[in-house]
Structure 1
Amino acid sequence: MTTPSAAAAVILYRESPNLEVFWVRRMLQMSYQGGFYAFPGGRLEPHESPRDAAVRELHEETGVQIDPDELRDAGRWVTPPITRQRFDTQFFLARCPPDQTARVLSSEHDVGEWIRPQDAIRKWREGSILIAPPIKHALNSLSEGLSGVEARLKSAPDARSAGGTEIEMRRGVAFVPLRTPTLPPATHTNCYLIGDDDVVVIDPASPYEEEQALLDRVLEKRRARIREIWLTHLHRDHVGGANHLRQRWGAKIAAHPITARDLAGQVHVDRTFAPNETLDLEGQPGWRLRILHTPGHARGHVCIFEELHGSLITGDLIAGFGTIIIDPPEGRMADYLDSLRRVLALEPTALFPAHGPVIGDAAGRIREYIKHRLEREENILMAWRRGVRDAAAIVAAVYTDVDPAMHGFAERSVTAHLEKLRDEGRL
């Protein structure tokens, strides 16, 4: 588990006459929460206190200068262990001096504006923006006014949790990170809960009893009806808790016909997806889910596209960090690249992967994946033409940026590339 970096952030507010906060949108290209709305802040420098860091970051990013003694404690949040970039962030509340103007000064942000907390929450409820749980909690707390706000800001029960909580960065697209026997560098699989009163559960992944109990508690707290359990593909770190959830909640399991066939005798699949199947879920703002067959990582792999707001639940088509292993014969590189191109054409607005954090720069990440694979393929082809024919030797020559501990997995991807090149008549 990655040790969180110490950080500080400032919830800057004014009354003009309505209560407003100043928030910023992180540039899409940012490696951490690109495209998300947040409050000004950043990492602590060596030997710097959270208060001093908050004052410095606020001034660097907005031009507003405040006295450290004017900062009010607004709670502390720790990033759950689903990503390699984690932060232990101390939040502060501060009134903007009336003679100063907040504006965007940092190259990390492309938008900065004053907004009423209620209006910010409304935008989120409409499904049009991405915000992390600390930001949503702060906005909800401030929506009730300044009286008693410090106690509300510090009241979040999951603020310092190491994991096991429901995370909802876009309205109605929530996930619970569950510890699973997955492949490194991942340690968890995100189980998605889509909807409101009625939910579809996607990839109840964990075979571990304590993780299954954790997911049960989240569902009990929600008091939602499970419409169905959907599986993105057959791998054990995606289906490990499916039978338990079916038995515990009486919900049926659905999967692609190939996945249902391959899981026969292991997971009780009640029905199979129809081609291009859709499901509408009522609520605010409402959700329309479309099943997309996206083979490549697995023959029966599917993604789920929420068409009204552009959320793509990617399964193992795309990860929040690193790349995806394509392991023949189950995996086929040509199919994988075709699946990436097809989901890119849908113009998704955010990617919700099975492993790692939500990705705001959807198109950028998909293009990056395609470019990365094609560059690898060209380098593999060049090595082949130099007479390097063994997969392990090709990995040693081409995958020089990969940890040697991962070379065995890289060999499987090399095999997939070679199969594709042979099929295309390029070897």
Structure 2
Amino acid sequence: MGDVHGIQYIVNENVKRVRNMGVSTDFLDKNVVDKVRNFHKSFPEYEMTPLQSLSELAKRLGVRDIWVKDESYRFGLNAFKVLGGSYAVGRYLAEKLNMDISELSFETLKAKEIRERLGEITFVTATDGNHGKGIAWAARQLGQKAVVFMPKGSSIIRLNNIKNEGAEATITDLNYDDAVRLSSKYADEHNGILIQDSAWKGYEEIPTWIMQGYTTLIDEAIGQIKAEGKGKPTHVFLQAGVGSFAGSVLGYLEAIFGPDRPITTIVEPNEAACIFKSVKENDGKPHGVTGYMPTIMAGLACGEPSTVAWEILKDYADMYISCPDSLAARGMRILGNPLGDDPKVISGESGAVGLGIASLILQGDHFEEIAEKLNINKDSKILLISTEGDTDPESYREIVWDGMYPSF
């Protein structure tokens, strides 16, 4: 474990690099992923999101390649979360219809006769914004209802974006994890269906479906890299809240590549580093962060790890990093102000933190030890995923235009 300028890191000394030594990732294997992607391809809005190659930045930082998967283009919703939520909703409806998801397209689920068979359903969730917007969008598309609870301090803009999708949405005076508990209670009391990406004992099936839904983006990215003739990335940086997104991507990489998967680093904000805390405790169990979590990375402001994701992150991640908000701001500014002919990427706070920390490690001063432990060098090929665009435009401008949260 180390600490450099407020950046804490832990190397996973117990990382599993022998196939079948860690928790099973079969639920994220190619057969499952193909089924998920076929469902997403049935959406009229489906297009692969761009994989942006930042070749000039790679030269500046001394590595072979840097790619950024830009999820701001996903279904016109400015974030990736809809992939998990829509697939989980689809899986739930398929089960209710006694059908396999492979037999149902999104368009079929929108059909009048299907809606009549299903009856009225209310999907319930807690969110900082992106997940709730995705659930609200899917519910509206399918002629169903959505109720969304948001934690204290959530963006009014994100709240209104959810309401604009037809959902009943409110900002509570609770932190994220308590908002999840409120959502669960509401669903129980109002015959609703909880669609939450966090898992706990007794609630793991739907979060597993959500994780499967997220695999569309990493399967696209690996295919796009192969199409460039670049093989596969050597390093991946994944941001984590409850860990479902990071666990999904890492689980996919383990299922597809096994011991030859990329070296993977999990990144969290200092104020909500529940995965980091769980690793630090070193007892193999997930541990929560309690209280208010005032980070600009609202999508990562989660205090309790998903039980399904935790097992994957515990076994297969190579390093865990906890960092200040300034690293997210740094990543946003780098992506928004590209070098040379590199494309511009509009990335929000939770989307840009991976590049923020990677760029700092690669610049050298004071961070050589981290780079050495990650085996980053001139031949490294780094994949980052910008999970959201400017979902709060006012905050985006304060950071990128006005220099809020300056780098140290």
Higher relative contact order (CA 8 A, sep 6+): 2
TM-score by length of 1: 0.33
Select the structure that is richer in helix.
Answer: 2
- Between structure 1 and structure 2, the one with the greater Rg is 1
Select the structure that is richer in strand.
Answer: 1
